[in-house]
A and B are shown apart, each in its own frame.
Chain A
């Protein structure tokens, strides 16, 4: 299966990015072939709705699961429609999280935040 995660750099030793929608890159990892592909996140400079666009990218790349430290409600809405399960990352290493996911040690992300899209808009 294919799993996606927001990452800070384009190499396998990278760390998980704290933001899903505004992450610079995504790592799409295939647990069967054990190969990873890095994608630029085109949503990073969005005026708004970055989470929606990022979730669209994850869906278009046929990921089955997303590993992320957190996720906003609009992104979660898109991911749900795309049948992509969201798991909460542990620690910062991408590889450790891939291994933890394969070993069934990551739990489903329960806490969906309300997003930052309404702040300061006066």
Chain B
């Protein structure tokens, strides 16, 4: 069972919820897909870390074979190649690794070489198998790292897997939720929060993913995000209060579920509710 946790902006509580749900389960896997700034590992402090580098393919030219026909230059939609004074120039960081230039070169002068863009770390924190994707600074896209994180054979269907998504609704978020069985949308009780919730809500509807909302940082009085859910008939999975104690535990990079029975009960019941929703959806769709 794969559960993705997402939100339209950073700082709403994706990691708080993903980390604590994973910790509340008997055994689980936690996958940090926020590869630009992964922070789940700060809470889990996983041990026995194994690392693997992730590389993409970029073109490399053999100058002896290049005839200067410029088919590659004209083909590249991102203009990653230029042909100047009888020499092909390749801009690695502009290349999107489509491989087209290599396929079209009539002289077979182009071949593919690896370029490392980041890494994947795996470790264990008590009951949770922790995977973290890390994209090197300045690289264009974290999608290849997320693909590697989610295509691992270690993740079995029956394992409860929490996918901590990057913020927003761009390509890397789409890649992160693609294989998810269920999406938890985390929202803040502000108008800005509603705007961001709307973005991810449109995304999960587009992907036809069963989903529900967790309202985080709830205060007394009106909650615009809650009103939005009621208007749009979106399932509200739970409400987390604007809670100084929870905030303090979290800001000290500790896991609330492991610190305090009260939070263990709270997140266990949220996990049960989500699990029921997933089973319900599976039954309804089979």
Contacts and interface: CB of A to CB of B under 8 A. Distances in A.
A103 interface: no
B85 A49 contact: no
Interface size bracket, A side: 20 to 34
B70 to A, nearest CB: 9
Nearest to A79: B84
B212 interface: no
B141 A52 contact: no
A34 interface: no
B83 interface: yes
A56 B72 CA distance: 13
B253 interface: no
Q: Please classify the interface of chain B as helix (H, G, I), strand (E, B), loop, or mixed, using the class held by over half of its residues.
A: loop
A105 interface: no
Given A77-B89, A81-B84, A81-B85, A48 B78 contact: yes
A122 to B, nearest CB: 4
Interface residues of B, number: 26
Interface in B137-161: 138, 140-141
B82 A56 contact: yes
A121 B141 contact: yes
Given A43-B79, A52-B80, A53-B79, A121 B140 contact: yes
Given A78-B84, A81-B87, A52 B79 contact: yes
Nearest to B171: A122
Interface in A50-77: 50, 52-53, 55-56, 59, 74, 77
Nearest to A81: B84
Interface string B81-95: 111110101010110
B91 A118 contact: no
B235 interface: no
Given A48-B94, A52-B82, A81 B140 contact: no
A48 B36 contact: no
Nearest to B80: A49
Given A74-B91, A122-B166, A122-B172, A47 B77 contact: yes
B171 A118 contact: no
B56 interface: no
Given A47-B78, A59-B85, A77-B91, 16 more contacts: A43-B79, A46-B77, A47-B77, A48-B78, A49-B78, A52-B80, A53-B79, A55-B82, A56-B73, A56-B83, A74-B91, A78-B82, A81-B87, A81-B89, A118-B138, A122-B170
Interface of B: 36, 73, 76-85, 87, 89, 91, 93-94, 96, 138, 140-141, 166, 168, 170-172
9 contacts: A47-B77, A50-B79, A56-B83, A59-B84, A77-B91, A81-B89, A82-B85, A118-B138, A118-B140
